């Protein structure tokens, strides 16, 4: 029997007290694995004995160790992701937030988000989460097309996502988000627009939309490689992005990051923390954290995660210390993607010269002391960043 690798000792970390602080909790459970997904998730058949209660116990231990390392900073945002947090059910989703509060004080106006899948989130889940102090729900909609859902191996019915969003709003959530995927092989323009229109009609205040990416090791990748499905087409993806951006803009949603739109006040503060170079503790199997100049990631499998914590060691699989150049690269990469734009002061002299070329090409526009992507620039955001960095 192979021995598990010992956890890596996390070095001393220096939190920047002037920056907002978040907590991300990774819930590794899913009923089935969607064909396109390469997230760190496990179905019941893959777990071999780990159950949600044991996972919650291990999470409690990790957060206890975390607060000892950080001296319990006040938390501005909490994000419970996965996986499928809604599989925890009402009682455990409440217990999870209680566990976070036990170790970290939450700011009075803290944003507390849980992801949920439509097939496992029902009114009792939303009501319990809202009463416990969650302020935001992010639902995986992906599409309302039966064909697209079938290709993606999603198990919810086409109408369930919209119903779940309305149930969350009825439970008292002011902030509800729906995630869409566009560019699935065989998807039509009308199918995409029907999904966008359905999302708008629910009354949610946030929509995320992501181009389908074929990740190695997934069932979707095997189907594309075998020729059963065509690979996503870049021109089609660009066209679909323009369609959904136009539709969302007409409905009062403004883009604030290349893949995210919201009504006024509906932006996800936790994700804004990521994009603005903020700090967060990542808890749970495979979770990533970033505090000061240190980034680390936990062991992936829930068994190894729990085993490490039984020995009172942080379940760290690896870490890196980000130097000035790495932090600068990330700053340019992330801020360029945002509607607020990239401050010119972030760029060095050579990068400012290269920026003139990108502006001349119509991909960036100067707004005061910032550079903001044009509509065409959003389609080529990665290329813009590569040009700026040289």
Say yes or no to pLDDT of 318 above 70. yes
pLDDT in tens, 246-261: 999 999 999 999 999 9
Tallying the residues shown for the chain, one arrives at: 390
- pLDDT value, residue 384: 97
**pTM given for the model:** 0.95
pLDDT in tens, 132-185: 999 999 999 999 999 999 988 888 888 999 999 999 999 999 999 999 999 999
Strands 254-257 and 260-262, by their bridges, are antiparallel
Evaluate whether residue 348 is within a structural domain.
yes
Yes or no: say if 201 and 150 are a contact pair by the CB < 8 Å rule.
Answer: no
pLDDT in tens, 220-250: 889 989 999 899 999 999 999 999 999 999 9
- pLDDT value, residue 169: 98
Say yes or no to pLDDT of 1 above 50. no
Say yes or no to pLDDT of 23 above 60. yes
Orientation of helix 234-250 relative to helix 189-202, angle to 10°? 30
Q: 66-70, 106-110, 176-180, 363-367: lowest mean pLDDT where?
A: 66-70
Give the rounded percent of residues in the chain with a pLDDT score beyond 70. 98
Q: How confident is the model at residue 5 (pLDDT cuts 50, 70, 90)?
A: low
- pLDDT value, residue 4: 58
Q: Which residue has the higher pLDDT, 196 or 216?
A: 196
What is the rounded average pLDDT of the residues 317-336? 95
Cα–chain-centroid distance for residue 385?
21
The residues pairing with 298 across neighbouring beta strands, listed in sequence order, are: 316
Number of domains in the chain: 2
Orientation of helix 123-132 relative to helix 89-103, angle to 10°? 20
- Last residue of a domain, which of 243, 276, 309? 276
Say yes or no to pLDDT of 328 above 60. yes
pLDDT in tens, 272-286: 999 998 999 999 999
What is the rounded average pLDDT of the residues 336-347? 96
Evaluate whether residue 170 is within a structural domain.
yes
Q: Tell me, yes or no, whether 62 and 152 share the same domain.
A: yes
Query: In CATH, what number is assigned to the domain containing residue 81?
Result: 3.20.20.70
What is the rounded average pLDDT of the residues 371-380? 98
**CA–CA dist 333, 277 (Å, integer):** 10
What is the rounded average pLDDT of the residues 285-314? 93
- pLDDT value, residue 51: 83
What is the rounded average pLDDT of the residues 312-320? 94
- Last residue of a domain, which of 276, 303, 318? 276
Q: Give the domain range for residue 260.
A: 21-276
Say yes or no to pLDDT of 106 above 80. yes
Q: Tell me, yes or no, whether 352 and 225 share the same domain.
A: no
Evaluate whether residue 16 is within a structural domain.
no
What is the rounded average pLDDT for all residues in the chain? 93
Q: 38-47, 104-113, 185-194: lowest mean pLDDT where?
A: 38-47
- pLDDT value, residue 41: 86
Q: Tell me, yes or no, whether 346 and 216 share the same domain.
A: no
- pLDDT value, residue 9: 86
Yes or no: say if 319 and 11 are a contact pair by the CB < 8 Å rule.
Answer: yes
Say yes or no to pLDDT of 13 above 90. no
- pLDDT value, residue 14: 84
Residue 69 tokens read as 């390392």
- pLDDT value, residue 50: 61
**CA–CA dist 272, 223 (Å, integer):** 35
Q: Tell me, yes or no, whether 374 and 229 share the same domain.
A: no
The residues pairing with 206 across neighbouring beta strands, listed in sequence order, are: 177, 262
Residues 6+ apart with CB under 8 A from 304: 4, 5, 285, 315
pLDDT in tens, 32-69: 888 888 788 888 777 765 689 999 999 999 999 999 89
Evaluate whether residue 113 is within a structural domain.
yes
- Last residue of a domain, which of 249, 276, 303? 276
Q: Tell me, yes or no, whether 72 and 219 share the same domain.
A: yes
Q: Tell me, yes or no, whether 112 and 235 share the same domain.
A: yes
């Amino acid at each position: 029997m192979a021995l598990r690798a010992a956890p890596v000792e996390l070095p001393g970390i220096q939190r920047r007290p002037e920056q907002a602080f978040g907590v991300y909790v990774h819930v590794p459970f899913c009923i089935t694995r969607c064909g396109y997904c390469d997230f760190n998730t496990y179905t019941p058949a893959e777990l071999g004995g780990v159950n949600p209660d044991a996972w919650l116990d291990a999470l409690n231990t990790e957060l206890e160790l975390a607060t000892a390392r950080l001296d319990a900073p006040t938390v501005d945002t909490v994000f419970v992701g996965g996986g499928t947090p809604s599989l925890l059910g009402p009682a455990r989703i409440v217990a999870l937030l209680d566990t976070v509060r036990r170790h970290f004080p939450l700011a009075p106006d803290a944003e507390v988000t849980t992801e949920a899948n439509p097939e496992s989130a029902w009114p009792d889940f939303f009501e319990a989460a809202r009463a416990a102090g969650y302020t935001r729900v992010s639902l995986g909609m992906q599409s309302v097309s039966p064909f697209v859902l079938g290709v993606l191996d999603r198990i919810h019915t086409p109408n369930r996502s919209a119903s779940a969003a309305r149930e969350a709003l009825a439970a008292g959530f002011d902030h509800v988000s729906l995630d869409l995927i566009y560019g699935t092989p065989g998807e039509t323009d009308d199918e995409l627009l029907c999904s966008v229109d359905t999302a708008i009609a629910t009354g949610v205040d946030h929509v995320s939309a992501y181009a389908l990416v074929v990740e190695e090791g997934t069932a979707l990748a095997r189907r594309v490689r075998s020729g059963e499905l065509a690979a996503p087409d870049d021109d089609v993806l660009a066209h679909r992005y323009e369609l959904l951006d136009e539709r969302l803009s007409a409905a009062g949603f403004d883009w604030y990051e290349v893949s995210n739109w919201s009504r006024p006040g509906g932006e996800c503060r936790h994700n804004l923390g990521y994009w603005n170079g903020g700090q967060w503790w990542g808890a749970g199997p495979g979770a990533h954290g970033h505090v000061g100049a240190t980034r680390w990631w936990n062991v992936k499998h829930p068994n190894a995660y729990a085993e490490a914590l039984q020995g009172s060691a942080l379940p760290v699989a690896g870490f890196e210390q980000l130097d000035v150049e790495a932090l600068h690269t990330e700053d340019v990469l992330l801020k360029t993607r945002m509607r607020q734009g990239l401050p010119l002061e972030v760029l060095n002299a050579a990068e400012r010269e290269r920026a003139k070329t990108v502006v001349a090409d119509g991909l960036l526009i100067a707004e005061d002391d910032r550079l903001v992507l044009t509509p065409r620039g959003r389609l080529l955001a990665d290329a813009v960043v590569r040009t700026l960095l040289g």
